[in-house]
Chain A
Amino acid sequence: MNVTIQEETRSEQVSALVVSGEVDAYTAPQLREKLMPLCKENREIYLDLSRVDYMDSTGLGVLIGAYKQLRSGGGRLVLTGMSPRLKRLMKITGLTEILDIEDGV
């Protein structure tokens, strides 16, 4: 019941993060701490969620916060590798229509 976040810089102003594990009320603050400063420094952030086996609304809250931060600076957040469960979560909450979701990595 933990989360690990690996960061790689792809190029200037583009970052990619690989998130693994469970993103819930306990672990979401770790994701937020890692993600939010990057959103202020970068124009594009790729978030690989293929190794996330659980996410709840607190995790979604972090993604929405990051999306808002990036968009306010003209940047974008791209989510990749979502499992069918995560896609279902996005559909139910209406986020499929809003967030940038790509299949594969």
Chain B
Amino acid sequence: MDQTKDVIKLVIPAKAQYVGVVRLTVSGIANRLGFNYDEIEDMKLAVAEACTNAVDHAYRECEDKGNIDVTFHIFGDRLEIKIKDEGNSFDIAAVKKRCGPIENQLPFTSMRERGLGLHLMETLMDRVDIHGGQGVVVTLTKFTNRDEVDQDVDSPAKTESNR
């Protein structure tokens, strides 16, 4: 079951106007694999967040913005999407520590306007792996069979709706 069946590759310039093209591709592939509307929208958003981070952070100091490689690995039981940039790496542990939903106990003046992307990725996907080094590789996984998946991935949303 772990054998990759098919691989689809997409290379875009690391510019914000091309992130929409990746979203359309996600939509096309995920639809082909039988994911439902909400799962597809979740994946589009998570992948867009990863690409936006690559555009924003990875190439901040470069004049030539470089490319973002997006690779879709289609397995029997899941879709894995790797978003790879060749830009500057960052302190993954430090970023993870800061990520999370916005807390309404804090005064409004200290509300973050950025940094929700990683939290969204972790909530919307079944698995998120981030590897630094020469550039950053973010791997986002969504299982096609929801029954095999830890349902806790949706917990922040569910807790809210139970109120």
Which residues of A are interface residues toward B (Cβ below 8 A)? 1, 22, 24-26, 54, 56-58, 60-62, 64-65, 67-68, 71-72, 85, 88-89, 91-98
Contact = CB atoms under 8 A, between A and B. Distances in A.
Interface of B: 16-17, 19-20, 23, 38, 41, 44-45, 48-49, 52, 55-56, 101-104, 108-109, 111-114, 116-117, 119-120, 123-124, 156-157, 160-161
A25 B117 CA distance: 11
Q: Is the interface of A mostly helix, strand, loop or mixed?
A: helix
B112 A56 contact: no
A25 B111 contact: no
A58 B20 CA distance: 13
If over half of B's interface residues share one DSSP class (helix, strand or loop), that class is named, otherwise mixed; here it is helix
Contacts of A95: 102
Given A25-B16, A93-B101, A72 B48 contact: no
A57 B53 CA distance: 10
Contacts of B124: 92
Contacts of B119: 92-93
Q: Which 10 A-B pairs have the closest CB atoms?
A: A94-B101, A1-B20, A26-B16, A25-B16, A94-B102, A57-B116, A61-B113, A91-B160, A25-B52, A97-B104
Nearest to B113: A61
